[in-house]
Amino acid sequence: MKNESLPVRALLAGARKLMDEEVALLKKLALIESPSDDARATKACLEFAATEARKLGGRVKVHKAPPSGGILSAEFGPRRVAKHLDNQAAKRIVLLGHLDTVWPIGTLKSMPVKQVGRKLHGPGVYDMKAGVAMALTALRLLNEAEYWRDSECAVELLLSTDEEIGSHASRALIEEKARGAAAVYVLEPAQGLAYKTARKGTGNWRIDVHGRAAHAGVDFEKGRNAINELARQLERVAEFTELKRGLTVSAGLIGGGGKTNVVPAHAWAEGDIRISKKADAARILAKFRKLKPIDKDCLLEVAPEINRPPMERTRGTVKLFERARELARELDWDLTEAATGGASDGNFTSALGVATLDGMGAVGLGAHAVHEQIELDELPRRTALVAALIAAQ
Ligand SMILES: [Zn+2]
């Protein structure tokens, strides 16, 4: 049996009614500070979200994922559907997000959660506690519309607590849950007003140069200047960027030496890699690995790494976006799509070949910045659209 999709206008009316409660939920989430590297803090935020998911009838599990504070999974929809996913008609959708923020404990003192006009300010409101509140509210809308009764669709809400530091502890579970899903909807912040259909893959690199120390006055010619060698290598690295391919390599940190009158024995630099195409991972790693010392008496240690594959604009993703745009049109909303250089956990699910749509969360500005804020009036229609997309599966 095919799901009858719910009318998106009715969902919007429902979302407007729930808006005050949605904002209250967001405020509560933002008041539980949850920096990625503080497992106890993120766990507290996760427990709060778990309670909210249980209230909505979600079958909740809290997965341990050290050193992070854990991962929340909450399954919605008929048990028979969730259990028999090999059944042709049965579909599973993953709603993906994270509860951690970049803000350390105590940030609330200088950056309180506060409403100014029609905007809500506070640590993590935009990236992405509003997205979490939206996911929970969208599920509530589906509950209230009695959507699950004869649904052939199960939804898995998945919230991690280490996204901002690379998702090392949560990646395996995210990939496990995404495999075989009909769609992954990522509630990360919007790009302007747009949904995100492509994200760059990310990586980093480090180069260490080992030269030979010497007195800069007495033994100058015996020294092998690691800083000079590093500077030459960095010139080469700068040329790895191929803007047209969407491949960029940036130096971000540098260090070395100790005293002005010593020829330095050691210097290092670290930086960032972004790729638009999966195939460019091997290409850029090979370029780094081919670096050879220019001064043969210096030793190079080169460590490049790609940690998130790009989220490419695949046919599956485009199909999801087209569906979203059609539904939005019924609300007289001209939904657009965008590509971004920033990565999310959507990169992992997309790289598995699972149709992934991202940037479905809040509209606002100032992610990772002191002026972080969201537009409250954008919440209802974006929340309704998440619910409508699930119902249209
Ligand atoms: Zn985020």
CATH of the domain at 251: 3.30.70.360
pLDDT at position 61: 97
Residue type at 344?
S
CA of 122 to the centre of ligand 1 (A): 14
Do residue 16 and residue 136 come from a single domain?
A: yes
pLDDT at position 1: 37
Q: Is residue 149 part of a domain?
A: yes
Q: Is residue 82 part of a domain?
A: yes
Q: Give pLDDT tens digits for 235-268.
A: 999 999 999 999 999 999 999 999 999 999 999 9
The DSSP annotation for 192-257 comes to TTBEEEEE-EEEEEEEEEE-B-EETTTSGGG-B-HHHHHHHHHHHHHTT-BGGGTBEEEEEEEEE-
Residue type at 103?
W
Do residue 192 and residue 335 come from a single domain?
A: yes
Show which of 275, 308, 341 is a domain's final residue: 308
CA of 267 to the centre of ligand 1 (A): 33
pLDDT at position 81: 72
pLDDT at position 165: 94
Q: Rounding to the nearest 10 degrees, give the CA dihedral for residues 287, 288, 293, 298.
A: -170
Question: Which structural domain range is residue 320 located in?
Answer: 8-199+310-391
How many whole angstroms separate alpha carbon 238 and alpha carbon 247? 11
Q: Is residue 385 part of a domain?
A: yes
Q: Is residue 2 part of a domain?
A: no
Show which of 308, 333, 362 is a domain's final residue: 308
Do residue 237 and residue 184 come from a single domain?
A: no
Do residue 300 and residue 331 come from a single domain?
A: no
Show which of 308, 325, 347 is a domain's final residue: 308
Do residue 176 and residue 216 come from a single domain?
A: no
CA of 101 to the centre of ligand 1 (A): 8
Helix (H, G, I), strand (E, B) or coil at 14: helix
CA of 342 to the centre of ligand 1 (A): 9
CA of 200 to the centre of ligand 1 (A): 14
Do residue 292 and residue 348 come from a single domain?
A: no
Q: Is residue 178 part of a domain?
A: yes
Do residue 228 and residue 349 come from a single domain?
A: no
pLDDT at position 89: 65
Do residue 304 and residue 320 come from a single domain?
A: no
CA of 218 to the centre of ligand 1 (A): 54
pLDDT < 70 positions in the chain:
1-5, 82-89
CA of 300 to the centre of ligand 1 (A): 35
Where helices occur in 56-170 by DSSP H, the ranges are 79-83, 107-110, 130-144
Q: Is residue 58 part of a domain?
A: yes
pLDDT at position 78: 86
CA of 33 to the centre of ligand 1 (A): 15
CA of 126 to the centre of ligand 1 (A): 8
CA of 303 to the centre of ligand 1 (A): 26
Per the listing, tokens 């803090």 go with 41
pTM of this structure: 0.91
Q: Is residue 59 part of a domain?
A: yes
Do residue 184 and residue 194 come from a single domain?
A: yes
Residue 112: CA atoms inside 13 Å, Cβ hemisphere, count? 4
CA of 284 to the centre of ligand 1 (A): 26
Number of domains in the chain: 2
pLDDT at position 116: 97
Which residue, among 343, 206, 338, has the nearest Cα to 274 in the 3D structure?
A: 343
Q: Is residue 3 part of a domain?
A: no
Do residue 193 and residue 80 come from a single domain?
A: yes
Q: What CATH number is given to the structural domain containing 25?
A: 3.40.630.10
Do residue 44 and residue 102 come from a single domain?
A: yes
pLDDT at position 4: 52
Do residue 69 and residue 165 come from a single domain?
A: yes
